[in-house]
A and B are shown apart, each in its own frame.
Chain A
Amino acid sequence: EADIYQTPRYLVIGTGKKITLECSQTMGHDKMYWYQQDPGMELHLIHYSYGVNSTEKGDLSSESTVSRIRTEHFPLTLESARPSHTSQYLCASSEYKGQGAGETQYFGPGTRLLVL
Chain B
Amino acid sequence: AQSVTQLGSHVSVSEGALVLLRCNYSSSVPPYLFWYVQYPNQGLQLLLKYTSAATLVKGINGFEAEFKKSETSFHLTKPSAHMSDAAEYFCAVSVYSGGGADGLTFGKGTHLIIQP
Residues of B within 8 A of A (CB-CB), count: 28
Q: Are A107 and B43 in contact, with the CB atoms below 8 A?
A: yes
Bound-state CA distance A6–B42 (Å) is: 11
Bound-state CA distance A40–B107 (Å) is: 11
Q: Are B43 and A90 in contact, with the CB atoms below 8 A?
A: yes
Bound-state CA distance A42–B52 (Å) is: 25
Does residue B77 face the partner (Cβ distance < 8 Å to A)?
Answer: no
Residues of A within 8 A of B (CB-CB), count: 33
Cβ proximity bits B38-62 to A, threshold 8 Å, 1 near / 0 not: 0001111110011110000000000
Q: Are A102 and B44 in contact, with the CB atoms below 8 A?
A: no
Q: Are B45 and A31 in contact, with the CB atoms below 8 A?
A: no
By a CB distance below 8 angstroms, the chain A residues around B34 are: 104-105
Listed by A's residue number, 9 A-B pairs whose Cβ atoms lie within 8 Å are A35-B103, A41-B109, A48-B102, A59-B105, A94-B100, A101-B51, A102-B49, A104-B34, A109-B41
